[in-house]
Chain A
Amino acid sequence: MTQSKIISFIVENKPGVLFKVTNMIRRRCFNIDSITVGTVDHKEISKMTLTIDGDESTVEQVVKQLLKLIDVLDVNVWSPNEAMSRELALVKLSNNAKKLLNKVSDSIYRIIDTSADAFTLEVVGTPEEIDSLLERFPYSEVQEIARTGMTAVRKC
């Protein structure tokens, strides 16, 4: 049975580390949904978050293979309900779409850029929230989308 897991791990912030991680994932044929990375803690270490849909033994292997990499310092595995997770999306829409926004009651977005024919939304939320917001806009109104992939911390 597959289940969705968030794997949050810290790595040395050194050249080549991102490559070692992604190369291992490729080499072992792990099928991941997203991976994000950013430095934390005075730039000495980075935190990476990957999400994966897999059975128990696949998740177990991902964790063990990550830990085997010398530049990986610590690994945590969470179910979605154990973590606070967020993703950022930037969505450029044609001005026609503005009227659709009125129907959206969520406060997960704000407009950060506008022009004569388009505007850009910054959306922060869980991947599902972002998905459902995006579904409201017809394909024809969407000019460009960029999403960061999910990052997460354990719930307080």
Chain B
Amino acid sequence: MVEMSGSDALIEGLRREKVEAVFGMPGGANLPIYDSLYESGIRHVLVRHEQSAAHMADAYARVSRRAGVCMATSGPGATNLVTGIATAYMDSSPVIAITGQVPKTMIGRDAFQETDIMGVVASITKNSFQPLQSGDIPDAVKKAFFVATSGRPGPVVIDIPKDVQTDRAEMVFPEKVEIRGYKAHLALDHAEIERAAEILARAERPVLWGGGGVSISNASEQFQAIAELLMAPVITSLQGKGTFPEDHPLSLGPMGMHGRAESNKIVQECDALLAVGVRFSDRSTGTFSDFMPNGKIIHLDADPSEINKNKRVDVYVVGDAKQMLAEIYEALCRRFRQREAPYPWLDRVKEVREQLANIPAYAEAEHELSGPRIMKTLREVLPAKAIMTTGVGRHQMWAEIHYKVLKPRTWITSTGLGTMGFGLPAAIGAKVARPDVPVVDLDGDGSFMMTENALGTAVEEQIPITAIILNDHSLGLVEQWQRLFYNRRYIGVKYPRTPDFVKLAQAYEAEAIRVESLKDLSKALEDAIRSEVVNVIEVPVSAEEDVFPFMPPGMSLKDTIYGGRKETTIF
């Protein structure tokens, strides 16, 4: 037992959790915490807007598989975190958000900068803690990290009234905590594992579907082993992109609204789908009732509430993906010998691939700086270990379709919430977690402008990331919807006067260049990732180029549009 202040106990708790960096901004209600941070040895990254702090912590967590920590003062500081917390919640990322609160005696009196952040975040956090005695802080910190990082990860808020930060108490730092209402994982149901293996062993047309849960539980190896044993084609969700190497012969790529045409087609023909760490998002499956009406679905997930939530499945197991996959692999080996290619299903996959190889969506556009070509160029230049973060929009969808992700946790994107402005701060958070690999933010002008001031943070803190802005002077993806579904009645989508991004970046003292050809893009990116400074590369693109394939909203995978304009091929 040691006597210390609540804020010292908080920082000591963070140290015990091996926190290396926190992202945030101080204010009246968290000054004691900042004062305790002063000599802590923990790196503080000062942001220009708390939303960015939450995204940085989020990306840090996704890349490192450890909790990411952000901090804000009460009131507006805390509410500025909200978009970032909601983003982390939707994508199951362990963010710890530490907010200052007005003193206990002022709570409920509409004090200056008082916001009921516990109430505000209730439905976008896994749990939240508000220690009301300084002596409760060590326990709250330990519990927060445990809850955030275990089971299905998710954000947790610790809201600390200012007087609780300054009050002194005898502190006990627990080595372990137990929360009686919380089990990270339930015991595996071995009978269901066997049933799952039985279905897979009998299947003639198996498909594996990997989601974010596969990387979260570090289960890519086990996932790949089953795919190779069964010789089953592999599709992913957008979040699961990279959980299976996309240059692997069995990889078909993501399925969904802007998935690969092959994936959208093949999944409809399979007789057994092994869905791992996915949540049957409408953006992946399309209309739930039309999704896989015939084949059997096996669902493995960490979160029991995901089972049968959107789609009834035939067999499910709840637990840690790595363990479940390892057991299914063993159960399979007991009843199944390594399948050899070719076999009829892979022949069919090959046939579909060939049929779809020349759909308009995959055809090379005439103009040089077309989305698909840019994506292929980026892949050629970037090493396999490079991390890509993205904004939200056409650029993200082009990457989904055309940028092959080769390693888990190198594709960091906001899928569940689709948060514009995620890309740049996420790149910074990712680079703090992995200073040894190149980190590139692939962004749209609209998304970039939402959090562009994070450039200031990157430069000041010497976090050498590269932002590539595909500038179409438009909210391109929304413009595409207005073009396809609202008869080109463009409203609220054009940015005729986006700033000169080169000058803007230079004003922040970043290196910046505008490129007009793929060759120049390659060169600029090579230079950028070799340099030790922050880089911005602006690439002018056309707002008129639609991103296809496209499953229109509210439709089913079979309604995927292959390309061209509205009238073209629907299968």
Contacts and interface: CB of A to CB of B under 8 A. Distances in A.
A57 to B, nearest CB: 6
Contact of A16 (B118, B181, B307): B118
Interface string B110-152: 0000000011001100110010000000000000000100000
A68 B122 contact: no
A61 B305 contact: yes
A67 B305 CA distance: 9
A139 interface: no
A156 B147 CA distance: 37
A12 B126 CA distance: 16
Contacts of B119: 19
Interface string A65-82: 101111111000000000
- Please indicate which of the listed interface residues A11, A64, A67, A70 has the most CB atoms of chain B within 10 Å of its own CB: A70
A24 interface: yes
Contact of B308 (A20, A23, A57, A67): A57
B305 A27 contact: no
A19 B122 contact: yes
Closest 10 CB pairs of A and B: A64-B305, A27-B123, A70-B182, A73-B181, A70-B127, A23-B122, A70-B181, A68-B305, A64-B304, A65-B305
Contact of A72 (B123, B181, B303, B309): B181
Interface string B300-336: 0001110111001000000000000000000000000
Contacts of B176: none
9 contacts: A16-B118, A23-B122, A24-B123, A27-B123, A61-B305, A61-B308, A70-B126, A70-B181, A70-B182
A68 B147 contact: no
Contacts of A73: 180-181
A61 B307 CA distance: 9
A60 interface: yes
Contacts of A16: 118, 130
B308 A60 contact: yes
A85 to B, nearest CB: 25
Interface of B is mostly: loop
A27 B89 CA distance: 14
Contacts of B147: 70
A48 to B, nearest CB: 13
B363 interface: no
Contact of B181 (A19, A65, A69): A69
A134 B304 CA distance: 42
Nearest to B132: A15
B2 interface: no
A65 B110 CA distance: 32
Contacts of B123: 23-24, 27
B191 interface: no
Contacts of A68: 303-305
A20 B312 CA distance: 27
Given A64-B309, A73-B181, 10 more contacts: A11-B181, A12-B181, A16-B130, A20-B122, A61-B305, A61-B308, A61-B309, A65-B305, A68-B304, A70-B182
A60 B127 CA distance: 22
A70 B184 CA distance: 11
Interface in A3-19: 11-12, 16, 19
Nearest to B122: A23
B1 interface: no
A24 B122 CA distance: 8
B179 interface: yes
A22 B60 CA distance: 33
A64 B308 CA distance: 10
Contacts of B307: 64
